[in-house]
């Protein structure tokens, strides 16, 4: 079976993907509708494509200088 890319990641995994920010910061991004999540049962899962889109929209080091 081929490797399958996940659709959802945990809040902790999203924090790691976003450069090691805290889970609290991920929740703030979720509350601000910067990234998307879904509930699977009682567990809140982050939509991976929304994490990637958010990261792609961040300014580059040249833009922020």
**Residue where the block lists tokens 């999203």:** 14
User: Would you say residue 63 has pLDDT above 90?
Assistant: no
pTM: 0.86
Q: State pLDDT tens for residues 23-50.
A: 999 999 999 999 999 999 999 999 999 9
Q: Specify the length of the chain in residues.
A: 65
Rounded (to 5) percent helix, strand, coil in the chain: 45, 15, 35
């Amino acid at each position: 079976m081929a490797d399958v890319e996940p659709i959802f990641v945990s809040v902790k995994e999203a924090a790691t993907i976003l450069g090691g920010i805290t889970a609290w910061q991920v929740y703030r991004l979720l509350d601000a509708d910067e990234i998307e999540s879904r509930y699977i049962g009682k567990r809140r899962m982050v939509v991976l494509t929304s994490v990637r889109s958010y990261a792609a929209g961040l300014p580059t080091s040249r833009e922020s200088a």
